[in-house]
């Protein structure tokens, strides 16, 4: 008796929770009409404004094209992502957009989809050791070079700078750092005095910048490998941010663009996550209709400065 009662409570509770969550997510997936094309999108994490914009761009495009788009969040867990892609194959998706948590660990997910003859589009990050139908990504190395050139321009070709690095070992941190190092090498009078990790995190950006100011009080420039860290650095630098100490960020996220408009961030290398999402859905629709895709499409990075900041999304 007791057991059945509590089991009933458990069942009702579960049903309510799932139902509630279902209601909320129901509105976010556009229902299909044109040819009933169903597309699955597995996002690496929605715990990051950049990927939220990416998803929003994808959803807007899906609505425009009248296809049904199911979005799942892998919470930065590669094995969860493999499960999600496998679920997509059993849901008879016509195409899958994969935003890999990890380029190496994504191969099993892609293989699972290929076995079911479902085309896969890799977005934002590539997939190693498995073939996808198309890879759409921003060029992080070029972006890093662009950031170096802009920072050098702001500094008039000379100064001492520090670099706030992203999470050690991630492709974004590696590529942006590589591009920046190559770019800054062209300016012999600019010296990089410290490179320290702040894990793409705003709080850590604040803390690491505060600490670096103690050991290198005379710096004139900062390159942060993403906007979150740049925003933390701005907090640490106070009134010096954007004036006596030049800062260049990366991503062009909403708060970053706002900081560029406010003059505290001198420039940010804007990726275009919404455009990335839009292009990914367009490619997925084409693939679902059997059109052959280009192997790689690179979404251009754009330098956002005070002059052109109004062109970028700020909401």
**Range in contact with another protein (rule: CB under 8 A) among 152-160, 210-218, 270-278, 294-302:** 210-218
Asked if residue 23 binds another protein (CB under 8 A), the reply is no
In whole angstroms, give the CA distance from residue 125 to residue 123. Answer: 6
83 touches another protein (CB under 8 A):
no
- Please report whether residue 202 would count as binding another protein according to CB under 8 A: yes
Least distance (Å) between residue 190 CB and another protein:
17
Is there a contact between 53 and 22 (Cβ–Cβ < 8 Å)? no
194 contacts another protein (rule: CB under 8 A): yes
Residue choice 111, 114, 210, 261 for contact with another protein (CB under 8 A):
210
End-to-end CA distance of the chain: 54
DSSP labels, 79-105: HHHHHHHHHHHHTT-SEEEE--SSTTT
* Helical ranges in the chain per DSSP H: 2-26, 49-65, 78-90, 107-115, 140-155, 171-184, 202-215, 227-237, 254-262, 273-288
Q: What is the nearest approach in angstroms of another protein to the Cβ of residue 218?
A: 12
Residue 142 interacts with another protein (CB under 8 A): yes or no: no
Q: Minimum Å distance from CB 115 to another protein?
A: 31
How would you class 5 by CB atoms within 10 Å of its CB: exposed for 0-12, middle for 13-18, buried for 19 or more? exposed
Rounded to the nearest whole angstrom, what is the least distance from the CB of residue 281 to another protein in the complex?
Answer: 19
The single residue among 159, 179, 197, 249 that binds another protein, judged by CB under 8 A, is 197
Confirm or reject binding of residue 239 to another protein (CB under 8 A): no
- Considering only 30, 52, 116, 141, the residue that binds another protein (CB under 8 A) is 52
Question: Which of 62, 208, 219, 304 lies at the binding interface for another protein (CB under 8 A)?
Answer: 208
- Token duo for residue 20: 């509630």
Give, as one character, the DSSP assignment of residue 157.
T
Residues 6+ apart with CB under 8 A from 292: none
Nearest to 242 by CA among 256, 221, 270: 221
Which one among 99, 138, 165, 282 touches another protein, defined by CB under 8 A?
165
Does 255 bind another protein (CB under 8 A)? Our answer is: yes
| Residue ranges binding another protein (CB under 8 A) | 24, 46-49, 52, 165, 168-169, 194-197, 202-203, 206-208, 210-212, 214-215, 217, 231-232, 235, 254-255
């Amino acid at each position: 008796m007791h057991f059945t009662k509590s089991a009933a409570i458990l069942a009702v509770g579960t049903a309510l929770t799932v139902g509630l969550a279902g209601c909320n997510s129901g509105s976010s997936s556009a229902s299909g009409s044109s040819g009933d094309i169903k597309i699955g999108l597995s996002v690496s994490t929605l715990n990051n404004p950049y990927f939220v914009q990416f998803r929003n761009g994808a959803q807007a495009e899906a609505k425009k094209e009248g296809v049904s788009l199911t979005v799942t969040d892998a919470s930065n867990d590669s094995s969860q992502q493999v499960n999600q892609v496998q679920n997509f194959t059993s849901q008879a998706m016509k195409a899958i957009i994969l935003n890999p948590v990890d380029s190496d660990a994504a191969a099993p997910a892609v293989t699972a989809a290929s076995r079911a003859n479902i085309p896969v589009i890799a977005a934002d990050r590539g997939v190693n050791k498995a073939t996808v139908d198309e890879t759409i990504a921003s060029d992080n190395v070029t972006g890093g070079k662009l950031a170096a050139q802009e920072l050098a321009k702001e500094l008039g070709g000379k100064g001492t700078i520090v670099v706030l690095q992203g999470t050690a070992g991630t492709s974004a941190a590696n590529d942006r750092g590589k591009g920046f190092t190559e770019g800054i090498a062209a300016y012999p009078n600019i010296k990089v005095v410290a490179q320290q990790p702040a894990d793409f995190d705003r709080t850590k950006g604040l803390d690491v910048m505060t600490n670096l100011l103690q050991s290198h009080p005379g710096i004139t420039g900062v390159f942060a490998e993403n906007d979150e860290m740049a925003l933390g650095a701005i907090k640490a630098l106070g009134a010096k941010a954007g004036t006596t100490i030049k800062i260049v960020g990366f991503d062009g996220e909403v708060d970053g663009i706002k900081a560029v408009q406010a003059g505290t961030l001198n420039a940010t290398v804007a990726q275009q996550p919404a455009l990335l999402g839009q292009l990914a859905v367009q490619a997925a629709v084409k693939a679902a209709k059997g059109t052959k895709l280009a192997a790689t499409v690179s979404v251009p990075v754009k330098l956002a400065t005070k002059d052109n900041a109004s062109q970028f999304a700020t909401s």
